[in-house]
Structure 1
Amino acid sequence: MDAQDIKAVAALYLARPPERLVLEGYRHWTHGLSQRSPDRVEALATLYDAALGPRDAGPVLSAFQDFICIAGLCARCPLRMMASGCVGLCRDEALILGIVSGLQHDDNEATAVCLRAIAHPARADQMAFSAGAYAFLLRGRGLTLMPIPTGALEGVLSPNRHPDAAEMRSGTTLH
Structure 2
Amino acid sequence: MSASASGSAAEAPAEPLGEAQLKSAALTGGDVDGFQITEFPVKPGGDSTARPADCQPLEDMRTGLPDPGPKAFTGLLAYSGAGPAAGSATTIGLMAYDGSAAAEGVLDGLRTALKTCTAYEGGVPARTTVRSATAPDVGDDAVAYSLRTERDSADAFVVVRSGATVVLFFTASGTGSAAAVPEALVSAQIRKLEA
What TM bracket, shorter-length normalisation? under 0.3
Task: Compute the TM-score of the two structures, normalised by the length of structure 2.
Answer: 0.25
Structure with more of its chain in helix, by fraction: 1
* Length-normalised TM-score, structure 1: 0.27
Q: Which structure is richer in relative contact order (CA contacts within 8 A, separation 6 or more)?
A: 1
